[in-house]
Structure 1
């Protein structure tokens, strides 16, 4: 393997990005552990609420990933002021879209929770959590936009400090509100909003001190929305899968839904560990293409993909060893613990595959190849995940069926990104694609 960037340089971008990516899942793991000791129903409600709240970030990834792609090319072309201007416009979009989501969330929290969990105590508890947590939607999106432009200019250290400040305080606050203040599940949602207030304020301050024009520029926002369209459709395919999985688990039993929440949060955490390499790939590949160095971009793609495979194998080995040790941390309920192995071994086996897929996702996102990723993800969902996950509900396969569907989804995605990477058609040079 030809080493284009030193491992130290790649890790210098990836490790702070890992901290940012891991901060929210780590907080959710703390949240899961705290709420899990309230019982199976609150934990299942958190699973449903968490899936819905995740739509805020996953459906609007263009505010981070799309902004990184556009900013990195401009940074590579030596146009830093233009690169930061992309962050300004992404922040304006975050505010507008976030306010719309707050209003929609208050109106639709009840119907959505009952559609996912069915009538009963789980859905009722999820509604209250959602109505509080969704108040932080604009703040979540501002943080995403801030991460996007900073990654593009290869500054991944400050975002780490900002996100840790918010989530660290919130992680301490969560058990205080849930247990000491006796707010129960609602305390978890309030702590989540506090984290978003702190982080978003720091990102806004960082943008203001750049001394670039802060007014909205419709032309740039339209360009971001053009890239955003493909990323939103890609995210919709992801969320159709994960929402369906949560719904099938919830309809199996409260214990199955709770077990799925535990393994899914670990999956999300490890996905973001692997995705830290993708962040480095976005920044480095985008800058290489912005400076019209396509051969360098292709060599970087090969290098980072190998790194992703190594990391995936290592994570699979570690979590195989933790199979009997880690689950009791999240729930003491014997019925929940009995369900976890039905998902655990799929989760372990998928880590090397995920390492390659996420690395190449980062390469293609850095190149602005969102249209191909959109089509590949939708195809993987329609042909792999969705038929199997709903068949598992009809046949009573339970969590094993849900995670079989996820495995099919990942294998199809693996084939798609490998074919695209080998073609080289993604490596289009220039400051703007």
Structure 2
């Protein structure tokens, strides 16, 4: 094997495994909410749909603005690879404070518009009321989550994903404990808050994650949040441009997710509730596999900074292989416990039957997702934001939407949504893999 300048499976796994654990913490919080609420005695279907709709909107905003994590990680890892880390000290607090400000502004703008927002998702009656109440509390966490994500990006850029893992898993544990306590209540001690209990649990988890992230920032890195200078750092413009392009890329993703929820809710509450379960499982799997994309992001940016072509080839091959292996393991486990998984999320017979008839599509997508996510992560580390933006817009406009419209027309219903997602991911995987190999060939010449 050609020299890769010390890039080994151990290097990759030491970043990927903590990143997997950190990455699944957020969808694990959502999955816990779905599982707990789906088994409530009253309004379980409406509550499940409400949490799914709010989760979709929250994810749309958080993923879009959390692209600051990706751009700052790219800048930090490139600076690390070129031995210029000392030149970006003042950039970090500027990025974090920008995220905090954005989080506050978004809450102030969206909270009063909650009724209008969730009406767009086809929410009605009890589902709409629950969605509004749930969102009003969950949205308080915007500045907390966005600032934590920026700090996680710094950690990834300096080739450490363990600190983000500790923060994320701590938040997830807090959420699970409080979910069961506040949703169902404890006789004579704590009343059952239902859907709102899940909202309070999630907010508490976000507070815990930020506190732990700040601890590691101050104890383990040279960067300080309070050392803010008002003169913009020279690389702040690059950060904003990267973030803007990653922002637009994520808008394209969220258009697809929004349309999926709108169509699913339009088929009926049971269809919308089933889609909420499937989407949360899909996101959980995605973040699980995305740990290898995080490793590709961190190492890829560093290797590009040091112009290590052989290392990049090895990184692409190895992270893709690991991602596919994990995807196959997930498929096997879920195949063995197919019906059991459905029962964990709902007692409603209609929702359960819809789940069984659609979940297989989610499963067979996973190896394709693995390839797409890994190369997406590497391209992020390279700072190829505009290319990723254009790719996602193209695939959403010319693959996902036409497939959804055609399959919906022939009455595929939930299957229409998930086949459209499968074709969308197949396009991402194929195009990014080809682009990666062409870029490596160009660098060699």
TM-score after normalising by structure 2: 0.91
Q: Tell me how far apart the structure 2 counterparts of residues 138 and 30 of structure 1 sit (CA, whole Å).
A: 22
Residue segments in structure 2 that go unaligned for 5+ positions in a row:
186-190
Question: Per-residue CA shift, 1:251-304, capped at 9, x if unaligned?
Answer: 111111111111111111111111100111111111111123233223322222
* Aligned CA distance change for structure 1 residues 428 and 87 (closer, same or farther; 3 Å): farther
Q: Tell me how far apart the structure 2 counterparts of residues 59 and 401 of structure 1 sit (CA, whole Å).
A: 25
The alignment's C-alpha RMSD in Å is 2.0
Q: Tell me how far apart the structure 2 counterparts of residues 207 and 6 of structure 1 sit (CA, whole Å).
A: 27
Shift of 1:214: 3.1
Where does 1:313-352 land on structure 2 (aligned, <5 Å)?
313-352=328-367
Question: Per-residue CA shift, 1:21-72, capped at 9, x if unaligned?
Answer: 0111112111111111121111011111110111222112322111111110
Match of 1:113? 118
* Structure 2 residue 36 is the aligned partner of structure 1 residue 34: yes
* Aligned CA distance change for structure 1 residues 198 and 3 (closer, same or farther; 3 Å): farther
Structure 2 counterpart SS, 1:78: coil
Structure 1 counterpart SS, 2:338: coil
* Structure 2 residue 147 is the aligned partner of structure 1 residue 142: yes
* Structure 2 residue 311 is the aligned partner of structure 1 residue 296: yes
Match of 1:133? 138
Q: Tell me how far apart the structure 2 counterparts of residues 216 and 297 of structure 1 sit (CA, whole Å).
A: 37
Deviates more, 1:302-311 or 1:98-107: 302-311
Q: Tell me how far apart the structure 2 counterparts of residues 265 and 421 of structure 1 sit (CA, whole Å).
A: 29
Whether the 8 Å CA contact 2:304–2:382 is kept in 1: the answer is yes
Structure 2 counterpart SS, 1:176: helix
Whether the 8 Å CA contact 2:92–2:223 is kept in 1: the answer is no
Which among 196, 204, 218 is matched to residue 194 of structure 1?
204
Match of 2:284? 269
Shift of 1:394: 4.5
Whether the 8 Å CA contact 1:248–1:390 is kept in 2: the answer is no
Whether the 8 Å CA contact 1:44–1:261 is kept in 2: the answer is yes
Question: Per-residue CA shift, 1:210-244, capped at 9, x if unaligned?
Answer: 35533355244332110011101110010000111
TM-score after normalising by structure 1: 0.94
Question: Per-residue CA shift, 1:145-204, capped at 9, x if unaligned?
Answer: 011010000111111111222221122111211121221111111111111112112223
Q: Tell me how far apart the structure 2 counterparts of residues 263 and 418 of structure 1 sit (CA, whole Å).
A: 27
Which among 152, 156, 173 is matched to residue 157 of structure 2?
152
Q: Tell me how far apart the structure 1 counterparts of residues 72 and 441 of structure 2 sit (CA, whole Å).
A: 18
Which among 38, 43, 49 is matched to residue 44 of structure 1?
49
Structure 1 counterpart SS, 2:340: coil
Q: Tell me how far apart the structure 1 counterparts of residues 310 and 89 of structure 2 sit (CA, whole Å).
A: 26
Q: Tell me how far apart the structure 1 counterparts of residues 332 and 231 of structure 2 sit (CA, whole Å).
A: 49
Match of 1:175? 180
Which among 421, 424, 428 is matched to residue 439 of structure 2?
424
Whether the 8 Å CA contact 1:294–1:427 is kept in 2: the answer is no
Whether the 8 Å CA contact 1:51–1:242 is kept in 2: the answer is yes
Structure 2 counterpart SS, 1:340: helix
* Aligned CA distance change for structure 1 residues 268 and 325 (closer, same or farther; 3 Å): same
* Aligned CA distance change for structure 1 residues 2 and 335 (closer, same or farther; 3 Å): farther
Structure 2 counterpart SS, 1:90: helix
Deviates more, 1:286-295 or 1:64-73: 286-295
Where does 1:8-407 land on structure 2 (aligned, <5 Å)?
8-38=10-40, 39-83=44-88, 85-180=90-185, 181-209=191-219, 210=222, 212=224, 213-219=227-233, 220-407=235-422
Q: Tell me how far apart the structure 2 counterparts of residues 93 and 259 of structure 1 sit (CA, whole Å).
A: 37
Q: Tell me how far apart the structure 1 counterparts of residues 379 and 442 of structure 2 sit (CA, whole Å).
A: 9
Whether the 8 Å CA contact 2:16–2:292 is kept in 1: the answer is yes
Q: Tell me how far apart the structure 1 counterparts of residues 123 and 297 of structure 2 sit (CA, whole Å).
A: 40
Structure 2 counterpart SS, 1:360: helix
Structure 2 counterpart SS, 1:155: coil
Residue segments in structure 1 that go unaligned for 5+ positions in a row:
none
Whether the 8 Å CA contact 2:163–2:213 is kept in 1: the answer is no
Structure 2 counterpart SS, 1:326: helix
- The count of corresponding residues between Structure 1 and Structure 2 is 429
Whether the 8 Å CA contact 2:25–2:168 is kept in 1: the answer is yes
Shift of 1:86: 4.1
* Aligned CA distance change for structure 1 residues 118 and 158 (closer, same or farther; 3 Å): closer
Whether the 8 Å CA contact 1:67–1:86 is kept in 2: the answer is no
Q: Tell me how far apart the structure 1 counterparts of residues 256 and 32 of structure 2 sit (CA, whole Å).
A: 25
Whether the 8 Å CA contact 1:69–1:368 is kept in 2: the answer is yes
